[in-house]
Amino acid sequence: MGLLTLLRHGETDYNAKSLFQGRVDEPLNAVGEEQAKRAAASIGKVDRVITSPLQRAQKTAEAFGILPDVDEQWIECNFGEWEGHPISSIDSDKWERYKTDLSYKPPGGESIQEVNQRVFTSLENLSIGEEEHLLVVTHTLPIKSAFHWVLGVEIPVLRTRLSTASYTQIGFFGDERILLNFNVTS
């Protein structure tokens, strides 16, 4: 079985303050650095690492001691004008629409449908050897998109919770993909 582990980056100050982070390139805070070390110990040996271009993902990946390949497809959703603001400050009608309409874009941002398209394409193009363990260090919405992809169903992805430095694992059994773990923390 090939194994794909999707690891959400460790905590940043934006996460601690419950702010939309999106493409804002925040570093890990001290908690996030410790979370990255614990996640690496929990996940164990990996053969290859891919990471988002954002520094919080790259710094989390450093805990594995393997030079990662950077892939733009795994960057977080662009939340546009919402970035840097708490969810509570977003107009409630717009927030409800974003949660229920996959094609809705925050002002100046990206839709969930667009995130799904780029993540699905990346997943379909992944080559994972039969005994290989591939780690992708990424963000909330790309991991939720992968969850959607592996299950093959339309789901309200915003109704699932992903903790910082949590991991999700997908087993590759020939042409079959199986969700093995979701939102595991160490």
pLDDT at 176: 92
The per-residue pLDDT for range 31-44, each reduced to its tens digit, is 999 999 999 999 99
If you write DSSP's letter for every residue of 22-90 in order, what string do you get? TT--PPB-HHHHHHHHHHHHHH---SEEEE-SSHHHHHHHHTT-SPPEE-GGGSPP--GGGTTSBGGGS
pLDDT at 158: 66
Number of domains in the chain: 1
| 139 in catalytic set | no
pTM comes to: 0.96
Q: Which residues of the chain fall short of a pLDDT of 50?
A: none
pLDDT at 157: 62
Distances (CA, A) of 14 to 39, 48, 70, 92: 20, 28, 22, 21
The one catalytic residue in 11, 26, 62, 76 is 76
The region, left, alpha or beta by phi > 0 then psi within -120 to 50, assigned to residue 119 is alpha
CATH classification of the domain holding 166: 3.40.50.1240
Q: Domain range holding 108?
A: 2-184
| 76 in catalytic set | yes
The per-residue pLDDT for range 161-174, each reduced to its tens digit, is 899 999 999 999 98
